[in-house]
A and B are shown apart, each in its own frame.
Chain A
Amino acid sequence: MRVIVVGAGEVGYHVADRLAKEQHDVVVVDLAPERLDYVQSHIDVAVIEGSGASPAVLRKAGIREAGLLLAVTSVDEINLVSCMSVPSRSGLIKVARVSNPDFYAERATLQPSAFAVDLLINPERELALDAFRLLQVVAASDVAVFADGAVQVVGLMVTDGAPIAGRSLAEVSAAEQGRQLLTVAVERDGATIVPTGATVIEAGDHIYAIAAAAEIPRALELTGHHYEKVQRVMLGGGSVEMFYLASLLQQHEVGAIAIVENRERAQELAEKLDRTLVLNGNVTDVELLELEGVGGMDAFVALTDYDEANIIASLVAKHAGAKQVITLVNKSDYVPLARRIGLDAAVSPRLSAAGAILRYVRRGSVRRVATLQNNDAEVMLLTVTTNSPLLGRPLAERHIPEGAIVGAILRGTGVLVPTGRDALRVGDEVIVFALPEAVDPVTRLFPP
């Protein structure tokens, strides 16, 4: 499929990268030649210099054959005009990135259809939603939910002395027999592997587990954590992302304290957020954090516009004893770094936006995709049709591509975490965990 990406910023670059790796023909349009040079030298895409709001430029980029137009510059109006300047036709999906709530909010007067757009994406809000999901499971680095939360994929650090440490996965699954719980990936020394029964878990490993919602507390216990409901959260910074997250917390009756450095912004937020206590101060002010009891918080989320301030504040909060620390990082290089220096989870607006876009654009038998913030792997929800080569025999007797694992089967209203003896049936929905190179082969196993 031909994909046209308007805007080679952080979001555009990352989405183009993901789609190119999945063998799509990607054309990136941007006004800045030096940015395009950078894109072309790092990923396998074509580039065109020009305005994405210009029909002539879009024609040159091959909009006639395109199946997907992603307008993801940082300017709402350019993105909307870009989508509007292309006539709608079947087979073309148009996605626009917008940050102004007037354009995208659920009850906004202006609906996507008014702009001839199929999907409006707000990166700041997507990030807030991702951070909010993380807060649901204290200690998790990633949380992805399926089937309205009945099945969750969580990323967890194995602590020293955790029950699971030092045992092979075969031993663990024998001991935990009957539980809907499965380790689908192990990240060790920066590399991700899909484990077998012989894989031995070590303290310091980062594992990804798939589990029915009821088993999440057990998954936390096995990795040496406790399950608790988040009740008190401290937010550092007055960014747009912070505003959305605070709004979500308010909706869910979670008490929040926010620290905002700019006095006018603090005043504005204090007026808008009626159940959040907004303080005026610096997030890296250790004395202030301690005075406001950062150590007693269930979670600390650093959400200023500056990566460095976020990382420092997160370290202070972690050191003081905050149970979970989530850090916003804009620079992609910092994402893997964050966990290595002891922070629980990192979130980035571009990854959140890319995740939301990829979730939407997958078609065919792929029903839904979750991208993990701290790992390149994807978690896909696929439907089993009569054409699937996996039908009939137990899974152990079928060839599953290297780097992929069937994590859960949704059958009827039930959830089944399969063993090699289970077989797929028509109508099942399966959740597959796949490393990037396995995404395409897996998709082929589930033809529409």
Chain B
Amino acid sequence: MNLREVVHVVGVLLVAVAGTMVPCVPFAVHEGLVLPWLGAIAATAIAGGLAWTLTGRVKSINQREGVAIVGLGWVAVVLAGSLPFILTGVAPSIAAAVFESMSGFTTTGATVFSVIEVLPASILLWRSITHWLGGMGIIVLGVAILPLVGLGGAQLFRAEVPGITADRLAPRIATTARLLWGVYAGLTLALVLLYLALGMSPFDAVNHAMSALATGGFSTRTASLGAFSPAIQWVTVLFMFMAGINFTLHYRMLRGRWNAWFRDTEWRWYAASSVIVAAIIFVAVGAQQGAWTPDTLRRAVFNTVAVHSTTGFATADFALWPSVAQVLLIGLMFVGAMGGSTGGGLKMVRAAVVAQHTRGEIRKMLHPRAMIVTRLGRTAVRSDVVLNVLAFLGMYVATHAAGTVALAALGSDFITAMSAALAAMSSIGPGLGAVGPAAHYGHLGDPALVVLTVLMLLGRLEFYTILVLFLPGAWARAGGER
């Protein structure tokens, strides 16, 4: 591992993040928060600039450095992102500030604030910006626009994009990253315009559009999307659903392959599970309330898609819904959105691979000599990919169990601990129990927030990228180099 290269690239990233704080400054003028903001920008830019310039020029990076850049880069960016929360004094503690920043960049959307409306506008905007940057990925953005290209962008790209494959839309990885970010930005702009047309204020429209496309969950209102009209909620459903889809499919569709979504096996699983769960929840919630109204339908669909896409907006307190609805939502939290989307979770494609593989193993009881091939649609999945997915599932379950135990040990009840750990890992936001949609995370205490912060990072970077940094060999210098 060449630490010099890693520090160099992380420095570049920090300077870029400092730049993304600038749009918040005009809003800070009326709030008397210009100095804290300038302080945050200066600290980030200076730290990044020093790291960038003092390490000189670097040639290329290999797999090891790529993983380290993504892992350490995320930590550095999240810490820098917590500076505005600390310096403006809105966060009750440093742990809370880092939690809020991590929740933003990982597009989780869990918040430590009980009342959102009292927060300064500059802070609200910064929360949405962290979502938007983290959604398609800060590293992918870096590969797309910063001079990281000559440095083996493919290593970085693969380490950050979720799912089992990172499809290339173009032969060059930088072009691929640019296309993905282009689609992402275009869809965000489209949602801003739709929101404006439906009567949202420009500030709310920009914040919610960035949050929705990133499958984030931060809102400018305590009541989340529940504070807006039914039409706005339906439009949000559509865009949350789209944000949970592999963005390469959107790109193909925009290029005229109108059936790109429908031909994709993972998409069919994603759409089918959305429809089935929403229908069951509609029936169950209607039965609980004694009436199946359009309102019931909207709430069922909205919250199902919000959880499935791992956005975490809420228009109802589903912690009060019948237990069948809660259990189904927990299931969706676990599975999450599609690979290559901005969503989190295990990912639909992995769930599909595990399901198909299990089906094959059962079939093998009947035909002991059968050559079982795990398939997604008609395509065979290579067996090393299947093994990787099974290992991932194991890590997911084990990490979730460890997180649940840690939170329980720190004083949470079972439902709260279990759902909070899951909601953090899968980047959902609201859980059940004391962290339900109507509640917040501020009351859990700093130690629990630290646990959740770690879970969010592990879930967003899909474990391997972070855990590999703890392997003894990871930091050894590559033999023969320099």
Task: Show the binding face of A for B, using Cβ within 8 Å.
Answer: 257, 259-260, 263, 266-267, 269-271, 274, 277-281, 288, 291-292
Contact = CB atoms under 8 A, between A and B. Distances in A.
A261 to B, nearest CB: 11
Contacts of B373: 267, 270-271, 274
Contact of A267 (B371, B375, B378): B371
A274 B371 CA distance: 11
Nearest to B378: A274
B370 interface: yes
B371 A279 contact: yes
Contacts of A266: 371
Contacts of A292: 367
A280 B373 CA distance: 13
Contacts of B367: 257, 277, 279, 292
A278 B372 CA distance: 8
Contacts of A267: 371, 373
Interface in B355-405: 363, 367-373, 375, 378, 380
B369 A281 contact: yes
Interface residues of B, number: 11
Contacts of A271: 373, 380
A279 B364 CA distance: 10
28 contacts: A257-B367, A259-B369, A260-B371, A263-B371, A266-B371, A267-B371, A269-B371, A270-B371, A270-B372, A271-B373, A271-B380, A274-B375, A274-B378, A274-B380, A277-B363, A277-B367, A277-B370, A278-B371, A279-B367, A279-B369, A279-B370, A279-B371, A280-B369, A280-B370, A281-B369, A288-B369, A291-B368, A292-B367
Nearest to B381: A271
B116 to A, nearest CB: 51
Nearest to B371: A270
A211 B370 CA distance: 41
Contacts of B372: 270
A250 to B, nearest CB: 11
A260 B369 CA distance: 10
Nearest to B368: A291
A259 B373 CA distance: 15
A257 B366 CA distance: 13
Contacts of B370: 277-280
A12 B372 CA distance: 40
A122 B373 CA distance: 29
A274 B363 CA distance: 14
A118 to B, nearest CB: 35
Contacts of B378: 274
Interface of B: 363, 367-373, 375, 378, 380
Q: What DSSP secondary structure best describes chain B's contact surface? A: loop
A292 B366 CA distance: 9
Nearest to A271: B380
B145 to A, nearest CB: 39
Nearest to A288: B369
Nearest to A258: B371
B380 to A, nearest CB: 4
Given A269-B371, A271-B380, 7 more contacts: A260-B371, A266-B371, A270-B371, A277-B367, A280-B369, A288-B369, A292-B367
A270 to B, nearest CB: 4
Contacts of A277: 363, 367, 370
A44 to B, nearest CB: 49
Contacts of B363: 277
Contacts of A257: 367
A257 B378 CA distance: 18
Contacts of A281: 369
A280 B371 contact: yes
A236 to B, nearest CB: 13
Contacts of A278: 370-371
Leading 9 A-B pairs by shortest Cβ distance: A270-B371, A271-B380, A279-B369, A270-B373, A278-B371, A266-B371, A281-B369, A274-B378, A271-B373
A291 B378 CA distance: 28
A288 B370 CA distance: 11
A266 B373 CA distance: 10
Contacts of A259: 369
A294 to B, nearest CB: 13
Nearest to B377: A274
Contacts of B375: 274
Scoring B371, B373, B375, B378 by chain A CB atoms within 10 A of each residue's CB, the highest score goes to B371
Nearest to A285: B369
Nearest to A278: B371
Contacts of A260: 371
A269 B380 CA distance: 11
A288 B363 CA distance: 16
Nearest to A268: B371
A374 B435 CA distance: 78
Nearest to A265: B371
A42 to B, nearest CB: 43
B9 to A, nearest CB: 39
Scoring B363, B367, B369, B380 by chain A CB atoms within 10 A of each residue's CB, the highest score goes to B369
Nearest to B363: A277
Contacts of A269: 371
Contacts of A288: 369
Contacts of A291: 368
A338 B166 CA distance: 55
A266 B369 CA distance: 10
A279 B363 CA distance: 12
A64 B375 CA distance: 55
Scoring B368, B372, B373, B375 by chain A CB atoms within 10 A of each residue's CB, the highest score goes to B373
A293 to B, nearest CB: 10
A260 B367 CA distance: 14
A167 B369 CA distance: 49
A270 B370 CA distance: 9
Nearest to B383: A267
A266 B378 CA distance: 17
A281 B367 CA distance: 11
B365 to A, nearest CB: 12
A381 to B, nearest CB: 39
A267 B367 CA distance: 15
A426 to B, nearest CB: 52
Contacts of B368: 291
A292 B367 CA distance: 7
A22 B307 CA distance: 77
Contacts of A270: 371-373, 380
A233 to B, nearest CB: 15
A278 B375 CA distance: 14
A332 B112 CA distance: 83
B50 to A, nearest CB: 53
